[in-house]
Amino acid sequence: MTTRIEATATTLSWIPSEAVTGLTKAAFETGFTHYDPPPPDVVGDLDQLRADDRFRYANLLTGWAEVEDGRIVRAGYGDASGVLMGSTTVRVGRLGATFAAVALPVLRHEPEFRPDGSVRLTQTCGGRTALPAPRAVPHPPYVKLQAPLVWTTLTLTLYPDGRSEPGLPGASTFPRHWVYDDAGALVLKSGLTDYSAWAAHSFGARTPWGDEDSPALTVEVESATERVLSRMLMSGEQKPVIRTLAADEMLTLQGEPGDDLYLLLDGVLRVEVDGRRLAEIGPGAVLGERAVLEGGRRTSTLMAVTPIRVAVCSGAAIDRGKLAELAERHRAEDVPA
C-alpha cells in the first residue's frame, strides 16, 4: 500500500530596525527608504502579505513523498515551490516610487533519501532589488552598481510517519530570515545580520548562483511574551539606547547590581549561571527582568557569542505583569543546555 504525504516550509526575509550600518543607514533614517515591521508569527496567504509589503522576498518550498512499507520510496517538489519577490519603496518628500525586485532562477537539489527512511528537499531562492546600489567592493571589479544578492537555502525533511521539519542551512548575511513550518508557525530565525559583509561580497561567485553559499546561524524562536515586550521597548515614549558588543564581550555579570532591560536585536548571547552554560539565545530575546523584579542584582552572566546589537532601557518603564510572565518562563529554563 502506498501513502502520499505533502508538506510546506517557508522563509520570509525582512529588514529589521538597526540592521543597516555605514553610509546607507542615512537612507533609512531620513525616510528615503524604510525598515520593516516583523512579519507575523503565523503565515497564511503569502500573496496578501506581499501586497501588504510585509516581506522583501519569500522562499516557498512544497514537497511530496510516497511511503511504502514504512519508507519513503519516491519524492519531489510541488508545483507551488518557488520565490516570491517583494518590492522596494523610496520616498523624497511626499513623492514615492515602488520598484519590483528581480528574481534569480530557483536552484533545487535532487531529493536526498536518508538512512532513517526520510527524504530531504533543498531549494535556494533569491534575487536583488531593481534599484542601483553603487559602492566600492574589496575585490574585482572593485566598483559595483547593481544591488547585492539576497537568498535563503531552505530544506524540508519529510518522514514516513507524516512529520516534516524545515531547516535553513544557508542564507545571505542580510537581511533577517524567518522560517515557518507546515502549519505556518514561526519555528526558526537567522541569528546574525552583517550588512557590511553582505554589501561587500554578495555577488558573482560568492553566491549560490556562483560557487558558494553562506552558512546560516539559526536560533530558536522567542516566546509570545517576549515579542509583546520587544514592541513595548522599541515603541515606547522613552527610546532605548542601542549598544554594540564584540564576540566574547560581557553584557551582564551574575551578582552585579542592575535594573536595565535588554532586547537582543542581532547576534547570539550565551546565558551562564554559576559557571554553567544554560543556553544560547538570539534576536528577539528580552533579558534582565529578574534583576528588576528580584532585588536589583543580575541572576545570570550574559556573554556575546557573536557580535551583537542590544537595545537597553529602564525596567521601570515596562509593565511588571509582563515582566513576571517572562521571569517565570526563564526560571523554567534554568537547566544546563
pLDDT tens digits for range 100-119: 788 999 999 999 999 999 99
Task: List own/partner pairs for 45-50 with CB under 8 A and 24 or more apart.
Answer: 46/10, 46/84, 47/84, 49/12, 50/84, 50/86
pTM over 0.85? The answer is: yes
Those residues whose C-beta lies under 8 Å from the C-beta of residue 140, and which sit 6 or more positions away, are: none
Residues 16 and 72 sit within 8 Å (Cβ to Cβ): no
Task: Give residue 146's pLDDT.
Answer: 87
Is the confidence at residue 167, as pLDDT, over 50? Answer: yes
Task: Give residue 85's pLDDT.
Answer: 93
Domains and CATH numbers, the chain: 2-219 (no CATH), 224-332 (2.60.120.10)
Q: Per-residue pLDDT tens for 263-303?
A: 999 999 999 999 999 889 999 888 888 887 877 889 899 99
Is the confidence at residue 61, as pLDDT, over 90? Answer: yes
Concatenating the DSSP letter of every residue in 15-82 gives --TT---GGGHHHHHTTSS---PPPPSB---HHHHHHTT--SEEEEEEEEEEEETTEEEEEEE-TT-E
d(CA 205, CA 256): 48
Is the confidence at residue 155, as pLDDT, over 90? Answer: yes
